[in-house]
Amino acid sequence: MEKNIALELKNITKTFGSVVANKNISLQVKKGEILSILGENGSGKTTLMNMVSGIYYPDSGQIFADGKEIVIASPKDAFDHKIGMIHQHFKLVDVFSAAENIVLGLEDEKGFDMAAYIERIKEITEQYGFELDPYKKIYEMSVSEKQTVEIIKVLFRGADILILDEPTAVLTPQETLKLFAVLRNMRESGKAIIIITHKLHEVLSLSDYVAVLRKGEYIGTVKTSETNESQLTEMMVGKKISLNIERSPVETCTDRLVVNNINCVNREGIKLLDNVSFTARSGEILGIAGIAGSGQRELLEAIAGLQHLDGGSIIYHNPKTGEEENLRDKTPLEIRQMGVKLAFVPEDRLGMGLVGNMDIVDNMMLRSYKKGKSAFLQRKNPKSLADEIIERLEVVTPSAYTPVRRLSGGNVQKILVGREIASSPTVLMAAYPVRGLDINSSYTIYNLLNEQKQKGVAVIFVGEDLDVLVELCDRIMVIGSGRVTGIVDGRNTTKEEIGILMTKSAEDMMQDEGGHEE
Amino acid sequence: MKKLKNLYWSVLSGSAAHIIKRDDIVWWKAWGIRIISVLLALIVCGFVTVSLTDLNPIEMYITMAQGAMGTPRLVWNLFQNTAILLGVALAVTPAFKMKFWNIGAEGQILIGGLATATCMIFLGEKIPAPLLIPVMLVVSIISGALWAFVPAYFKTRFNSNETLFTLMMNYVAIQIVAYFTLEWSMPKGSGTPRTLEFGQLPVLFGQKYLINILIVVVLTVLVYIYLKYSKQGYEISVVGESEKTARYIGINVKKVVLRTMAISGALCGIVGFLLVAGTDHSLKSDTAGGRGFTAIMVSWLAKFNPIFMVLTSLLIVFLESGASKISEVYRLNSSFSDIITGIIIFFIIGCEFFINYKIKFNKKEEIVC
């Protein structure tokens, strides 16, 4: 069966500075087969595939296509060997139509014949069961349609080996099912498909083989039909784990932050937040679940004073004075001057929460540098805070004067969370605080959140892993397309219930739109 | 044809070799690379000299050194020019550190110089020098700051492009100064700039330029402290690194931009003051002499560190004066000295690439064609 192998990697290694992203990885995919590459965030899945698609170049190792060794030094080389990758972030020209995007950059010696191209695009869509209007402009498209354009773009160029990076991260469950159907059709017609994912159920329902990576190392490949969820989890995380996040009972519980009917509209007039109301209470963790990009970021930024709102109110109950204050449309500085102790761990750690090029000490100062009347900086307290965080949270760093961009993701996050907690907040908001972190660092973060909860802080936790949300949070609010679709008790709910709520909004939205047209 | 194309791709995209970003480099390695690049530059210049002229390159370098610092007067000139260039570099640094591309230093210097000259002409006879000079200084600072404030205001208010705006402001300043130069020329309308008698900076220890140099030394220290140890300097760094972070922690970004540009312009105004009252004792439309642009290179080469800027500005001025000496002595067209300066600066800037990246050659030489 040697000749059936479409793509084979042998002993691929890639390092970034001192970080080993991929270490001696070997795997293969045959024609007419779907291979999943499974691994946690940061396990090196994307890096590996970027080497196959010509974005990175391996330090060592070999790549074979159709049994021949090949050198892939640019995306063009990858295309020449019929390898196409669909990235997580789409690379499309908004004002062009689907067809224009698909043929963009095509070198056709016969001349440019749009009508013929559209014919071929239609053939491809029919062959594999896509739904696409080639004349539709990208800016009018949903995320799933954009993804379709990206896939057809690759097929149009004759790719026989398709790589999809986290294709379902941005899709609703229905869209995911459609995508899987299309992928199965492609498999039937003999394409080799690699999908990168960290979602177990997708792996099990779709793929023929699963290759597992852990911390840049290749753990093994198993046949999907001969494996199960717990075996894969074990391969992924190293040892069998049940999450078992400690959840202490809620003791004192008073309203801390009451959000009332807030709305937020972006420049294109799309509602990012649609009548969102909820209450965050002291001494409990409020989880926020939802598909990525459903308004989570806007919601937290609105509370932090970074997002303009078009209506509603955000009432803060000051535990010291007992007064009620509206935080809506205040700047972060005004909020702090009002005596509201708000800590915010944003999703974008190095772009927003920290300054990558500054050292740990200078990053500690971000919140506190203004204190005191002197015109000059005082680096003594920030230095001792830095030392304290490094010691207490076991941050791995050469020194407190190392630029934070040089630290690993987990250590960066510890620095950020550590600093935010140091201000002894009354409200703590954290957006995806464990994204990209290893298990140990994740638990450090969970423990810190729990610790804050016990201190009576109102914790708001935006997460993506439903298992974690269910185990960690006291209440879980689910949002979809900027709307609250439900608030459930974390102790009595299930993943499935939350999953249904996450998807409910999408269906509602569709019905709503249908209703408008009539 | 197809083969050739493939080869082109493989070379261009690095099949044969590829580039890796360095994480960290020890300081002696970095300086080693810099020294090697200067030596290489001198060797390449030697080849260019031999192939284009019949000069002995070693002799040429000696002439160059002599031209830059052969006599005490030349050494003072060297220091004076270095001081002025350093002053401008200090002025543009806060703006550049904030990622505000202020290429309008030229105009800001001229406006500062114009303000100084105005005081010297109209107040010169009325108030005594000890009072006049501080007035000149203050007025030049204010006018330089205002000139720089305008593009900053438009940037924060209307998000206009600061690069184009500051550049255009240069031409406006040049025209205004050209007008007044003509207006004030002696005899009137002749275009010969008037020598400004009153308010000239004092000559210290018999050295005309010493006071300029001392003032710039003080400025260097002040700017260094301001950027590194003051709260405002910290704000500049944060805004420059990430506006998002700045907003997240509640820095008023607009305020910082306006304030920093005013400081940048004020420092340019001081340089204008030094040039008119200390160096030239007159005002011409080319008083700034392109330093507003050269200073950007000085600041950038020194990675915005005022102390390193002393070295980079000295290097640039040394090269310029040495190169012009070559043209003079060997009666060569001035483009030849420009070529030599260009090659040396190219190597010095180019070597930064090797400090930030390393090139890794692939062990396997197999290229699939």
What percent of chain A stands above pLDDT 70? 90
The whole-number pLDDT of residue A471 equals 83
User: Is residue A2 scored above 50 in pLDDT?
Assistant: no
Pairwise pLDDT comparison (B278 vs A3), residue with the higher score = B278
The whole-number pLDDT of residue B144 equals 93
User: Is residue B1 scored above 60 in pLDDT?
Assistant: no
User: Is residue B258 scored above 90 in pLDDT?
Assistant: yes
Pick from A354-368, A393-407, B285-299, B304-318: least confident = A393-407
The 3-state DSSP class for residue B219 equals helix
Pairwise pLDDT comparison (A176 vs B107), residue with the higher score = B107
A6, A192 in Cβ contact below 8 A?
A: yes
**CB atoms B230 and A367 under 8 Å:** no
Pairwise pLDDT comparison (B340 vs A211), residue with the higher score = A211
User: Is residue B80 scored above 70 in pLDDT?
Assistant: yes
Closest Cβ opposite residue B368 in set A71, A76, A344: A71
Q: Which helix (H) or strand (E) holds A15?
A: strand A5-16
Over residues B186-195, mean pLDDT: 76
Over residues A411-420, mean pLDDT: 87
- In order of their start, the domains of chain A are 2-237 (3.40.50.300), 251-341+424-438+451-518 (3.40.50.300), 350-422 (no CATH)
Return the residue of A nearest to B225 by Cα. Answer: A376
**CB atoms A57 and B238 under 8 Å:** no
**CB atoms A406 and B23 under 8 Å:** yes
Q: Give the C-alpha separation, A147 to A167, whole Å.
A: 8
The whole-number pLDDT of residue A429 equals 92
User: Is residue A311 scored above 80 in pLDDT?
Assistant: yes
Q: Give the C-alpha separation, B155 to A302, whole Å.
A: 25
Residues of B with CB under 8 A from a CB of A: 9-10, 13-15, 18, 21-24, 229-234, 237-238, 241-242, 244-245, 247-252, 360, 363-364, 366-368
Q: Give the C-alpha separation, B250 to B239, whole Å.
A: 11
Closest Cβ opposite residue B9 in set A59, A76, A356: A76
B196, B121 in Cβ contact below 8 A?
A: yes
- The CATH architecture one would assign to domain B71-329 is Orthogonal Bundle (1.10)
Task: Provide the edge-to-edge strand list for the sheet that holds A313-317.
Answer: A271-281, A255-265, A313-317, A324-326
The whole-number pLDDT of residue B167 equals 92
User: Is residue B314 scored above 70 in pLDDT?
Assistant: yes
pLDDT in tens, B268-297: 999 999 999 888 888 888 888 888 888 998
User: Is residue B43 scored above 50 in pLDDT?
Assistant: yes
Q: Give the C-alpha separation, B95 to A338, whole Å.
A: 32
The whole-number pLDDT of residue B93 equals 93
The whole-number pLDDT of residue B4 equals 52
Count the residues in chain A.
518
The whole-number pLDDT of residue B364 equals 47
Over residues A409-420, mean pLDDT: 85
What mean pLDDT value characterizes chain B? 84
Tokens matching residue A200: 């177990």
Task: Provide the edge-to-edge strand list for the sheet that holds A60-65.
Answer: A68-70, A60-65, A5-16, A19-30, A217-223, A209-214, A33-38, A192-197, A161-165, A83-86
User: Is residue B95 scored above 80 in pLDDT?
Assistant: yes
Tokens matching residue A65: 């296509």
- Distance of residue B32 Cα from the nearest chain A Cα, in angstroms: 21
How many angstroms from the chain centroid is the CA of residue A389?
26
Interchain CB contacts (distance < 8 Å): A and B: 96
Strands A324-326 and A313-317, bridge-based pairing: antiparallel
User: Is residue A268 scored above 70 in pLDDT?
Assistant: no
pLDDT in tens, A199-257: 777 788 888 888 888 878 888 888 888 887 777 777 776 654 555 677 777 777 788 88
The whole-number pLDDT of residue B368 equals 43
DSSP state string for A394-458: T---S-TTSBGGGS-HHHHHHHHHHHHHHT--SEEEEESTTTT--HHHHHHHHHHHHHHHHTT-E
Query: Domain spans of chain B?
Result: 25-55+331-369, 71-329
Q: Give the C-alpha separation, A23 to A26, whole Å.
A: 9
Closest Cβ opposite residue B14 in set A68, A70, A73: A73
Closest Cβ opposite residue A331 in set B230, B233, B250: B250
**CB atoms A71 and B245 under 8 Å:** no
Residues of A with CB under 8 A from a CB of B: 17-18, 54, 57, 59-60, 68-71, 73-74, 76-77, 304-306, 331-333, 335-336, 344, 346, 348, 351-358, 362, 365-367, 369-370, 374-377, 406
What percent of chain B stands above pLDDT 70? 91
List of chain B residues whose C-beta atoms are within 8 Å of the C-beta of residue A351: 242, 244-245
The whole-number pLDDT of residue A506 equals 47
List of chain B residues whose C-beta atoms are within 8 Å of the C-beta of residue A65: none
Task: Provide the edge-to-edge strand list for the sheet that holds A342-345.
Answer: A342-345, A427-431, A458-462, A285-289, A475-480, A483-489
Return the residue of A nearest to B367 by Cα. Answer: A71
List of chain A residues whose C-beta atoms are within 8 Å of the C-beta of residue B24: 17, 406
Over residues A394-406, mean pLDDT: 82
The whole-number pLDDT of residue B149 equals 93
Q: Give the C-alpha separation, B315 to B335, whole Å.
A: 19
Sign for the pseudo-dihedral over CA of A223, A224, A228, A231: positive
The whole-number pLDDT of residue B269 equals 94
Q: At what angle do helices B291-301 and B334-356 cross, to 10 degrees?
A: 30
Single pTM value for the model: 0.73
User: Is residue B352 scored above 90 in pLDDT?
Assistant: no
User: Is residue B367 scored above 50 in pLDDT?
Assistant: no
Return the residue of A nearest to B252 by Cα. Answer: A333
A470, A494 in Cβ contact below 8 A?
A: yes
Q: ipTM of this model?
A: 0.76
The whole-number pLDDT of residue A477 equals 92
Closest Cβ opposite residue B230 in set A76, A355, A376: A376
Q: Give the C-alpha separation, A309 to A93, whole Å.
A: 29
List of chain A residues whose C-beta atoms are within 8 Å of the C-beta of residue B358: none
The whole-number pLDDT of residue B363 equals 52
The whole-number pLDDT of residue A516 equals 43
